[in-house]
Structure 1
Amino acid sequence: MRLASCLAVLLLTLPLAAQARQIGEVDTAFKLIGPNHKIIVEAFDDPKVEGVTCYLSRARTGGIRGGLGVAEDRAEASIACRQVGPISLAADLRDGEEVFRERASLVFKTMQVVRFHDRERNALVYLVYSDRLIDGSPQNAVTAVPIMPWGTSPGR
């Protein structure tokens, strides 16, 4: 009974399948056993804003623990979101809504991206940060996408 309860909690805390597609990676440290430490670059589309793609770079821990999927990745990340087509906003956008989440450790740490709509400046603001069940990290990165007509050049 106790084992079943622990397994249920573990399954509930695991994140859903990643929404991002890996664009590329670079090695940052050689590991004799297991994969090298890396920086990976991923792309994902905002699920509620058509015409916006975000690019996220973050560390991926290698070595034996990284190869087994039990290592904890670092909290640092960088994000750049861009308009890639006509922007169409869903009617139910909420400030601070999560648009991307991926685990950064076996159970308790996640990297996530949330969106804010800056109506005064007609822009979308995306924030990436890492959190942990007990103690999160203040490290973060932010990017903004001005909502502009698609297919027109500036100054016309």
Structure 2
Amino acid sequence: MKIYKSIIVSIVMMASAAAHAEEIGSVDTVFKLFGPDHKIVVEAFDDPEVKNVTCYISRAKTGGIKGGLGLAEDTSDAAISCQQVGPVALSDKIAQGKAQGEVVFRQRTSLIFKKLQVVRFYDAKRHALVYLSYSDKVVEGSPKNALSAVPIMPWHE
């Protein structure tokens, strides 16, 4: 019974992502006769704690029969680019460094145990937000990662 509770808790935690992505587009990389093709998906999400910072993430999405049924495990390949899209005001929590490594985006990349995450750091010395994307598993993660920095600049309208 405890195992089932652990699995349910894991699924609920993965489903409650910090931010939800909006698909911008995709390109096929491998044709699959049955099921959807393998592809690279481009998605956008706004930092839930920092107004006017948008991140774009590209990630591999496995197709085929398993992919179409949601049973495939996506690779850990991903890239990220974040931009300031308006005036940015940092919360006291972020400005004081109390939110270092906070998860701002989480996407399930396998049925249960693997996810792609984006965490935020604040570099006070350079007045910049740094976003790190990486993939992890319950048992073993991946060293593959990508980084994007957003210097906070004055915004003139």
Same fold (TM over 0.5): yes
Amino acid at match of 1:63: G
2:35 counterpart residue number: 34
SS of corresponding position for 2:117: strand
Partner of 2:146: 141
Query: What is the CA–CA distance in structure 1 between the aligned matches of 2:140 and 2:33, rounded to whole Å?
Result: 31
Partner of 2:118: 113
What is the CA–CA distance in structure 2 between the aligned matches of 1:145 and 1:67, rounded to whole Å? Answer: 35
Q: Distance in 2 between matches of 1:9 and 1:22?
A: 30
**Residue by residue, what CA displacement relative to the aligned partner does 1:78-104 show, whole Å, maximum 9, x if unpaired?**
000000010021222211000000111
Aligned residues: 149
Does residue 16 (structure 1) correspond to residue 15 (structure 2)? The answer is yes
The aligned residue for residue 74 of structure 1 is 75
Between the aligned partners of 1:43 and 1:28, the Cα distance in structure 2 is 20
Letter in 2 for 1:70: L
SS across alignment from 2:15: coil
Which whole-Å CA distance do the structure 2 matches of 1:67 and 1:20 have between them?
Answer: 19
Question: Could you tell me how far 1:139 is from its partner in structure 2?
Answer: 0.3
Q: Return closer, same or farther for 1:17/1:33 CA change in 2, 3 Å cut-off.
A: farther
1:47-69 deviations in Å (ceiling 9; x for gaps): 01011000000000000100010
Shift of 1:6: 4.2
Higher Rg:
1
The alignment's TM-score, normalised by the length of structure 1, stands at 0.91
Root-mean-square deviation (Å)? 1.3
Structure 1 residue 10 displacement after superposition: 2.4
Q: Which runs of 5+ in 1 are unaligned?
A: none
Q: Which runs of 5+ in 2 are unaligned?
A: none
Q: Structure 2-normalised TM-score?
A: 0.90
